[in-house]
Structure 1
Amino acid sequence: MTENAWRRATRRWARWRDRVRDRPALDIAYRMVVAVVGLAVLVVGIITIPYPGPGWAIVFLGLAILATEFSWAGKVLHAVRARYDRFMAWFSTQPHWVRGIGVLFTAAVVVATLWVLGAVGWVAALVGIETPWLKSPLGLGG
Structure 2
Amino acid sequence: MKQQRRERGVLERVVTETLGWVLVVVGIILWPLPGPGLLIILAGITVLSRQHAWARRALGPVQERAVEAARFGVATWPRITLSALGGVWLFALGVVWWMSPTIPEFSVLGVGFGPRLPAAGWATGLGLMASAVVAWGLLVYSVRRWRTR
What is the TM-score when the length of structure 1 is the normalising length? 0.46
Q: Which has the higher strand share?
A: 2
- Normalized per residue, the structure richer in helix is 1
TM, length-normalised to structure 2: 0.45
| Higher RCO (CA < 8 A, seq sep 6+) | 2
